[in-house]
Structure 1
Amino acid sequence: TSMKYYKLDPSHYVSAPALSWDAMLKMTGVEIELFTDGSMHDFTEKAKRGGIAMACHRYFKANNPKMKKDFDPSQSTTWISYVDANNLYGWAMSQFLPIGDYKWVVSREILKKDPDRQKKYLDLILKTKADSPRGYFLNIKAHFPKNTHDYLNDLPPAVDNIAVKRDWLSPYNKKL
């Protein structure tokens, strides 16, 4: 139990992830360095992402021979499957995570003026191995053409941490 192994009382935590975080810190003995640069702290906070734990449609109809009389051979064959992953939070905490020695590598203003330097840094970052002692956060501007929006609707490739404006809402959501 948590009390036995970590000397942490679960009743003192609002959530299991908060308890897991403290258990991880206690187990590893790691000390996380605080940011001394306010803009770096803000940048990192904005870079945090939660995650979509499922892909969903309101309605999906399978079409395959196992459906017997409901199978329509003139349509493409489709199946419905559900895939789940366990221990995502625990897995994430076991990966290489930033703990200190934070540095700005290069500013956006410098990169805007020098496409060759942009490519050099991007190549360096993309070649960084998952177990490298150095990692990177990127701040990018992305554009997805309108003709890709329906295709990307369920799982947007580049979510943004922003307040949604009322005029972005569908008529249905505006009524809620």
Structure 2
Amino acid sequence: PNLPTNYLMYLDVNSLYGRTMCEPLPCGEFSFVENFETLDILNHPDDSDIGYILECDFDYPNHIHKTHSQLPLAPEHRIPPGSKLKKLLLTLYAKRNYVVHYRNLKLYVR
């Protein structure tokens, strides 16, 4: 009677692949950023002509484990227990040397 109400939603979303193909892709003039400490990635506009691919380390805070347990962010290739092959896994583990697009990183941090 006093339990929280849960809802399950089914969304029939069309053209997800087509939408991603409308986004700009990196095609040249790559360079390393010298002073990355001065970058404000979280406030960098999503529609900028300049983008970033970052290698970073981050932890998955314990206080959000419960809310993210059904669909954790930041997939990674790992060998699951009992397997010999790497698979794409969604885990709540800390990520080390994780390569991520800056727009995904913004989603993960927020």
Q: CA deviation at 1:146?
A: 4.5
Gaps of 5+ in 2: 84-110
User: Quick check: which one's strand share is greater?
Assistant: 2
Partner residue of 2:7 out of 79, 87, 91: 79
Structure 2 residue aligned with 1:135: 51
Q: CA deviation at 1:94?
A: 0.3
Q: CA deviation at 1:152?
A: 2.0
User: Quick check: which one's helix share is greater?
Assistant: 1
Which structure would you say has the larger RCO, counting Cα contacts within 8 Å and 6 or more residues apart? 2
Greater radius of gyration (CA): 1
Aligned CA RMSD, in angstroms, stands at 2.7
Partner residue of 1:95 out of 18, 23, 38: 23
3-state secondary structure, aligned to 1:139: strand
Gaps of 5+ in 1: 1-72, 112-116, 168-176
User: Identity over aligned residues, as a percent?
Assistant: 31
1:13-42 CA distance string (max 9 Å, x none): xxxxxxxxxxxxxxxxxxxxxxxxxxxxxx
1:109-163 CA distance string (max 9 Å, x none): xx7xxxxx52x22x1x333222211111111111124454343222112222333
Q: Distance in 1 between matches of 2:82 and 2:63?
A: 23
Q: Distance in 2 between matches of 1:88 and 1:101?
A: 28
Structure 1-normalised TM-score? Answer: 0.39
Q: 1:166 to 1:105 in 2, by over 3 A?
A: farther
What pairs with 1:25-174 in structure 2 (closer than 5 Å)? 73-106=1-34, 118=37, 120-121=38-39, 123=40, 125-146=41-62, 148-166=64-82
Structure 2-normalised TM-score? Answer: 0.57
